[in-house]
A and B are shown apart, each in its own frame.
Chain A
Amino acid sequence: MALIELFLTFLKIGAFTFGGGYAMIAMIQAEAERHGWLTQEELVDFVALSESTPGPLAVNMATFVGIRTGGVFGAAIATIGIVLPSFIIILIVAKYFEAYKNSKAVGGIMAGLKPAVVGMIGAAVISVARTVFFPAGINAAVFTSAGFWVFLGLFAVTAVMAFRKVHPIVIILLSAVIGIGAGYGLGL
């Protein structure tokens, strides 16, 4: 039963995500929370690991969540779920490509979807920010802890690097080293 749920959830994610892996995070997060599959921290860690390993972010994420929920078989089920909608839709589009390419309806739908994707990635930014800076909820004590300021500083530095087009893997490795240094240094 849990495996069917896993399959159907990733089928849904595969069928309704436009605009690449990042747009998918808000959806995976909501589903993982609803089914109790992962904690918010684990999800953010999986995003980092998916970024640092080859292959599509979506497939990596599906494999992670699947293996946690139902072992290697669960991973296979989740991956098939996320791949299947794309696969079927592309087969249809490839067959009727000329009609598809010139369709005004597709253009109209996309004009509505693009801003929606921006909004969804914005929502992912908000929830990941909460997980990073306020893991125990927002309260005054957070602002007096050294850890908060260290991670805020680290976020600022990595953001500058990201916008300067430094490779994500370099950014992730550097932040891991700083995290270890800060953790032991501050005795977090």
Chain B
Amino acid sequence: MHKNLDLFLTFLKIGAFTFGGGLAMIPLIQKEVCDNKHWLDEQDISDIVAISETTPGPVAINAATFVGYKTAGFSGACLATLGVVLPSFLIISLISLLLTQFQSIRAVQYAFMGIRAAVLALLLKALWMMFRSAKKNAVSYLLMGVSLVLTAFFKIDVVFVIIGCGLFGLLWSLLHRKEQSDGTD
């Protein structure tokens, strides 16, 4: 099969069958791309995880673009990305139409009242997972607190929080490195 078409179909499948997105998608990508198609090796997959964590945007898009580019260049990147997005796009468009039809029904409204409580629970779990994977030191706690307060209570544009914390991290690491090298001299 033509490689571009194969990439498109493989990522169409990945997009249609992974729930929750994010890093939950990585094992499936690994299975398809390494074990079944032999496009990339294990090292590439761990590179993808590292890249996805350090670049903005959805992990699924990052991974699809990277695999597509490595496998078949620019056209591969385009087709893999299109493939991973398309199922979401079609399914959500359909659901959105249905939702407009049914949202005036009482039972549907009640169902969503229950579901909102569950979303809060899922968010709390995500917060805990993120907190656990973050560094546990004074600077890290300070940044967590400042970005929480600024976002939740001061309605500051999140973009500024992101840029501010990124710059702070960069400056801190530069300063810290200088101290370390001073110490060894």
Contacts and interface: CB of A to CB of B under 8 A. Distances in A.
Interface in B1-31: 15-23, 25
Interface in A32-78: 41, 44-45, 47-60, 63-64, 67-68, 72, 75-76
Contact of B21 (A56, A86, A132, A174): A56
Contacts of A154: 114, 117-118
A49 B19 CA distance: 11
Interface residues of B, number: 101
B115 A172 contact: yes
Nearest to B25: A56
Nearest to B126: A22
Nearest to A171: B118
A121 B170 CA distance: 22
Contacts of A176: 111-112, 114-115
A54 B16 contact: yes
A128 B115 CA distance: 12
A33 to B, nearest CB: 9
Contacts, number: 376
Contacts of B89: 59, 63, 75-76, 79
A122 B92 CA distance: 27
B117 A93 contact: no
A45 B112 contact: yes
Contact of B95 (A53, A91, A131): A53
A176 B128 CA distance: 24
B119 A51 contact: yes
Contacts of A132: 116-117, 119-120
Contacts of B20: 51, 57, 168
B143 interface: yes
A109 B170 contact: yes
A180 B111 contact: yes
Interface in A79-119: 79, 82-83, 85-87, 89-91, 93-94, 97, 100-101, 104-119
Please indicate which of the listed interface residues B18, B92, B93 has the most CB atoms of chain A within 10 Å of its own CB. B92
Interface of B: 15-23, 25, 47, 50-51, 53-62, 65-66, 69-70, 74, 77, 81, 84-85, 87-89, 91-93, 95-96, 99, 106-107, 109-128, 130-131, 133-135, 139-152, 155, 157-159, 161-174, 177
Interface of A: 12, 14-23, 25-27, 30, 41, 44-45, 47-60, 63-64, 67-68, 72, 75-76, 79, 82-83, 85-87, 89-91, 93-94, 97, 100-101, 104-129, 131-132, 147, 151-152, 154-155, 158-159, 161-163, 168-169, 171-172, 174-180, 182-184, 188
9 contacts: A22-B127, A56-B61, A59-B85, A60-B88, A86-B62, A104-B173, A115-B139, A151-B114, A162-B121
